[in-house]
């Protein structure tokens, strides 16, 4: 259900409605817009009839059911677009945000070099995995806590926020103490205990679509995080599995406008894991900007030929600079 407050409702009336919702055992998720406030009411679906009593409270205009199975993620429950703030960076606003860096943290030298490259190109956020979910148990699994410490050092030295993946519920507190954004990878999109855990975190969460999840399933996964209390969720399309084998995955570019129509959350694209080969990354990233994504997450390595992980899809510095120039060109055309 959502409770729509009258446009002239006072802050006191809004607070009273929230208190009442909580007193009857539901949770209130207010969205304060310029025009009016709307309050998402979440709780046991079987008892939702009781919420209709809120109609009698002062300042309430109307109560409407949310028909979508994902309630807090749906456009109905929120005024306008959600903007996720990370330091001075706003994801989901007018600026196209670039998160770039190596697949995995390999050494201080590698990460620092990558940080300077991505900063020089104009990226706002540095990526790098300390925990790597790998298909093979024999592949490099990441530097783990040591990698997190390197991220922290480079974050301070290069003065750039960092995004890194968390793969296990028991590591969330640790990863959160180092990262500016917590990444949930494609393979964990339906790891519900992990989603609930990051839902209690104070840092924003970037949630990747799984290679076999529908758009609705992705939104239901986002709902787990939102319902647990974390409103700062960024969605990421990173390619899905199809019959096509020429690319690592098939970038579902239509997921961007579809998600934009269904949810208020920011939507970004990862062209690297979709393509699997660096040659396709720049065209796919251009497509992401043109289709209306809020940004990209892209793999860049100072020396891709030496990368321990995902070297084939990593851009070398010159290609990354070229990509950034092209993105600026696409964005300037779109703004006209």
- Note the residues at the interface with Mn ion (CB under 5 A): 103, 310
Cα(156)–Cα(143) distance, integer angstroms = 19
Candidate list 186, 195, 207, 227; residue touching ligand PEP; CB under 6 A: 186
Segment lying near ligand PEP (by CB under 6 A), choices 22-30, 72-80, 185-193, 322-330: 185-193
The verdict on 78 binding ligand PEP (CB under 6 A) reads: no
Minimal distance, residue 310 CB to Mn ion, in Å: 4
The verdict on 185 binding ligand PEP (CB under 6 A) reads: yes
Q: Which is nearer to ligand PEP, 77 or 110 (CB)?
A: 110
Candidate list 28, 54, 73, 103; residue touching ligand PEP; CB under 6 A: 103
Q: Which is nearer to ligand PEP, 79 or 311 (CB)?
A: 311
Cα(61)–Cα(108) distance, integer angstroms = 57
Q: Left if phi > 0, otherwise alpha if psi is -120 to 50, otherwise beta: which for 62?
A: beta
Q: Which is nearer to ligand PEP, 102 or 199 (CB)?
A: 102
**Taking CB under 6 A as the criterion, which residues in 190-219 touch ligand PEP?**
208
Long-range contacts of 18-23 (CB under 8 A, 24+ apart): 20/54, 20/57, 21/51, 21/54
3-state helix, strand and coil shares in percent for the chain, rounded to the nearest 5: 40, 20, 40
Segment lying near ligand PEP (by CB under 6 A), choices 20-28, 82-90, 183-191, 225-233: 183-191
The verdict on 43 binding ligand PEP (CB under 6 A) reads: no
Binding mask 116-155 for ligand PEP (x = CB under 6 A): -------------x---x----------------------
Nearest to 250 by CA among 287, 218, 220, 299: 287
Minimal distance, residue 194 CB to ligand PEP, in Å: 13
Minimal distance, residue 186 CB to ligand PEP, in Å: 4
Q: Give the residue carrying structure tokens 């968390």.
A: 166
- Residue 42 makes CB contacts below 8 A (sequence gap 6+) with 26, 27, 29, 71, 72, 227
Cα(298)–Cα(167) distance, integer angstroms = 19
Phi, psi of 155, deg, nearest 5: -55, -45
The residues binding ligand PEP (CB under 6 A) are: 103, 129, 133, 185-187, 208, 238, 270, 273
């Amino acid at each position: 259900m959502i409770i729509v407050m009258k446009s002239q409702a006072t802050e006191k009336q809004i607070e009273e409605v929230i208190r009442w919702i909580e007193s009857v055992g539901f949770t209130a998720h207010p969205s304060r817009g310029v025009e009016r406030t709307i309050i998402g009411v979440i709780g046991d679906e079987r008892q939702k009839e009781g919420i209709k009593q809120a109609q009698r409270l002062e300042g309430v205009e109307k109560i409407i059911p949310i028909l979508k199975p994902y309630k807090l993620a749906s456009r109905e429950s929120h005024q306008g677009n959600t903007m996720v703030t990370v330091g001075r960076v706003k994801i989901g606003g007018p600026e196209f945000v670039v998160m770039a860096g190596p697949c995995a943290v390999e050494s201080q030298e590698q990460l620092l070099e990558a940080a300077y490259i991505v900063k020089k190109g104009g990226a706002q956020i540095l990526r790098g995995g300390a925990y790597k979910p790998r298909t093979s148990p024999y592949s490099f699994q990441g530097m783990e806590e040591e990698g997190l410490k390197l991220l922290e050092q480079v974050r301070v030295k290069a003065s750039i926020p960092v995004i890194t993946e968390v793969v296990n519920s028991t590591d969330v507190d640790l990863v959160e103490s180092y990262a500016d954004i917590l990444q949930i990878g494609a393979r964990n999109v339906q790891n519900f205990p992990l989603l609930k855990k990051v839902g209690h975190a104070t840092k924003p969460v970037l949630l990747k679509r799984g290679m076999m999840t529908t758009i609705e399933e992705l939104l239901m996964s986002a709902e787990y995080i939102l319902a647990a209390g974390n409103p700062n969720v960024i969605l990421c399309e990173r390619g899905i599995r199809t019959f096509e084998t020429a690319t690592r995955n098939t970038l579902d570019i239509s997921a961007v406008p579809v998600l934009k129509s269904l949810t208020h959350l920011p939507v970004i694209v990862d062209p690297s894991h979709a393509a699997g080969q660096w040659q396709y990354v720049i065209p796919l990233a251009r497509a992401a900007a043109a289709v209306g994504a809020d940004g990209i997450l892209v793999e860049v390595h100072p020396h891709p030929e030496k990368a321990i992980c995902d070297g084939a899809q990593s851009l070398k510095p010159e290609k990354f600079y070229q990509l950034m120039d092209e993105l600026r060109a696409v964005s300037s055309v779109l703004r006209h």
